[in-house]
Structure 1
Amino acid sequence: MNSGKLNKIPVSKISEQSRNGIVFRYIFNNEQVTTIDHVHQDDYYMFILLEEGEYRACIDFNEYKLNGLSIAFISPGQIHFITGYKNVTGYVIGVDTVLINHTFKEVFEKVSVSGNLIVPDIETFENLKSCLSVLHKKIQSRNDILEQNLVYALVSSFIGLVAEMYHNDNLGSLNKRSAIITHQFRKLLSNSYQTVKSPSQYASKLNLSLSYLNEVVKETTNLTVSQCIQNEIILQAKRLLFYTNMTIKEIAYELGFEDHTYFTRLFTKVAGISPTKFKVNYRQ
């Protein structure tokens, strides 16, 4: 870890890696597993389709293990890094957010509560693999505007298949209205956690009673509104503690707390460890 003063988590930008908003790698027997070897965030979506082997990654402090046929995605802004891999064969696709259909984005945002990893059935996996195999060939050979548009269409088809799989797996049994309201709440929370910390304020902004908002959020996430707010704040705090050299007081202020001792108590209560110990443990 760099010992210099770091106040920003590094962001990998799609514009610095691709002129057309798509980064595509076919991995065979560990070749080209990653081109970025440090903890970072992306400003784009990344999809990993594993055919064989083992691939382990930490995404926002949750450990994920892909083993054999499996798929994972990483949303823009999520801190991640590879923790290990063995005999990996598969695909990694980075896609600019502007190229992803709004409906598909909503699916990925909605299922982020239940995790980024999914194991597809054989038929779905073969469909995804076929799509990527064609995409791989077209990306290598594209020479004109027609082939470029075909590349975009294939990428959209792949993302649509992945979104459908996550939708069916995570939201099929949920009340549709509850899912919509929870999505609206989480989107509002992600934009307002620094300034809005009261559950009743979120209910008011959504024109709902707090009891009803709690009911639908609990149904969808198994968490109360208050717990969701606290989890979002602590996640952002962990990101800053993990990568920057900001002090606890600076982080508290950055997250909208005037009293850093209160922030410390909240972090310790939710995370089960003090901010100082978390920083020491994760930065060793």
Structure 2
Amino acid sequence: MKLKRIEIKKNIQKAEDKNLSFRVFDLDMKHLESYIQPHKKDHFCIIIIENGKLDLQIEEKIHFLKPGKISIIFPEQIHFVSNLSEDLKGRIILFEEVLFCSDILKNELSAYNVNLSVNLNCTALPAKEFEKIIPVIRNIETTYQNPSLIKKEQARFYIKIFLLGLIESIHGQHPVLHQKTNQLLYIDFKKMLNEQFKKQRTVQYYAESLNITSKKLNEITKKHCGETAINAIHNRILTEIKRQLLFSDLSHKEIAFDLGFSSPSALNKFVKSKLKETPTELQNELAQIYNA
């Protein structure tokens, strides 16, 4: 199955959209039609539930969204929705990465960036906090309906206010984010892993690159994500294997070489040791999940 990739520049609902870096839509079947099948986007997507419910699968995890819950889907995350209730009500906000607080999070607020995408995929806000964000959403929507140069700048600030408020909220919900010790090292490790996992898969390599011992790196990963460094490396490889098995047209041999395995049999051995099944069995299993 070939994975569809939706681009915000091609999501044109009205003439002004081509000049806007964000979109705001009602959460209804009309605007969720393209969300039914597994796909990914080149932009961020916020789903806000005011009434009703739906199930949202992001990568391998299913989130059960209901009133008071907010989901932020990051660019390139595979996702789809199912089990929409008839009384569903809420908003969808799409926006380009330029509007996300990425520069701030990389610098002044780097401590908040630990597992940020995982935590933001589904957040349940207390009723009072959820009520406070509704006016902000309405301001963004009003701007979208009647954009001007000034209002577009206002919308950028409204979106950032919304995002920073949500980040502050999950910071309080996840105690591990308060542990300042070695946070930057963990962030650097995760970034380096995402960039180099196809070629580098030893704990020693990442530890030496961070100027720490392998033992220290294991302590850091256990503290921040509950797994050893080698498991973090292997899980990142497994995630990519699953993506390629399901959504690419590559053969098992091509996947093996793309991911740095010496042969298809090495890929087979790795998958079987981790999941107790062959790549073919895994591929069939994933196809059943995503085509259910």
TM-score exceeds 0.5: yes
**In structure 2, what is the equivalent of residue 119 of structure 1?**
124
**In structure 2, what is the equivalent of residue 251 of structure 1?**
255
Contact 1:104–1:159 (8 Å) recurs in 2: no
The superposition leaves residues 125-179 of structure 1 with CA deviations (integer Å, 9 ceiling, x where unpaired) of: 111112101211121122x211111111111111111221222222555421333
Query: Aligned partners of 1:158 and 1:114: how far apart in 2?
Result: 15
- Aligned positions of 1:53-202 closer than 5 A: 53-86=52-85, 87-102=87-102, 103-104=104-105, 107=112, 110-113=115-118, 116-142=121-147, 144-171=148-175, 174-202=178-206
SS at match of 2:255: helix
- Aligned positions of 1:261-272 closer than 5 A: 261-272=265-276
Query: Aligned partners of 1:273 and 1:59: how far apart in 2?
Result: 23
**In structure 2, what is the equivalent of residue 13 of structure 1?**
7
Give 1:31 shift. 4.8
Contact 1:182–1:220 (8 Å) recurs in 2: yes
**In structure 1, what is the equivalent of residue 25 of structure 2?**
25
SS at match of 2:53: strand
**5+ residue gaps, structure 1:** none
Query: Aligned partners of 2:269 and 2:176: how far apart in 1?
Result: 38
Query: Aligned partners of 2:276 and 2:49: how far apart in 1?
Result: 33
More helix by share: 2
Query: Aligned partners of 1:268 and 1:57: how far apart in 2?
Result: 29
1:281 maps to 2:285: yes
Contact 2:171–2:177 (8 Å) recurs in 1: no
Query: Aligned partners of 1:151 and 1:14: how far apart in 2?
Result: 17
SS at match of 2:171: helix
Task: Name the stretch that deviates more: 104-113 or 74-83.
Answer: 104-113
Query: Highest relative contact order (Cα 8 Å, sep 6+), 1 or 2?
Result: 1
Give 1:272 shift. 4.1
Give 1:189 shift. 0.5
Q: Counterpart of 1:215 in structure 2: which amino acid? A: E
SS at match of 1:90: strand
Aligned sequence identity (%)? 21
The superposition leaves residues 220-254 of structure 1 with CA deviations (integer Å, 9 ceiling, x where unpaired) of: 10011100000100001111111123221111111
Change (3 A) 1:165 1:16: same
Change (3 A) 1:155 1:171: same
1:219 maps to 2:223: yes
Q: Counterpart of 1:12 in structure 2: which amino acid? A: I
SS at match of 2:83: strand
Give 1:23 shift. 2.2
The superposition leaves residues 17-54 of structure 1 with CA deviations (integer Å, 9 ceiling, x where unpaired) of: 243221221225x5533444432221222111111111
Q: Counterpart of 1:224 in structure 2: which amino acid? A: T
Computed over aligned residues only, the root mean square deviation of the Cα atoms, in angstroms, reads 2.1
Change (3 A) 1:171 1:279: same
Change (3 A) 1:182 1:171: farther
What's the TM-score, normalizing by structure 2? 0.87
Query: Aligned partners of 1:84 and 1:274: how far apart in 2?
Result: 31
SS at match of 1:279: helix
Query: Aligned partners of 2:91 and 2:126: how far apart in 1?
Result: 17
The superposition leaves residues 185-208 of structure 1 with CA deviations (integer Å, 9 ceiling, x where unpaired) of: 111100001111111101111111
Contact 1:53–1:67 (8 Å) recurs in 2: yes
Query: Aligned partners of 1:36 and 1:115: how far apart in 2?
Result: 19
SS at match of 1:129: helix
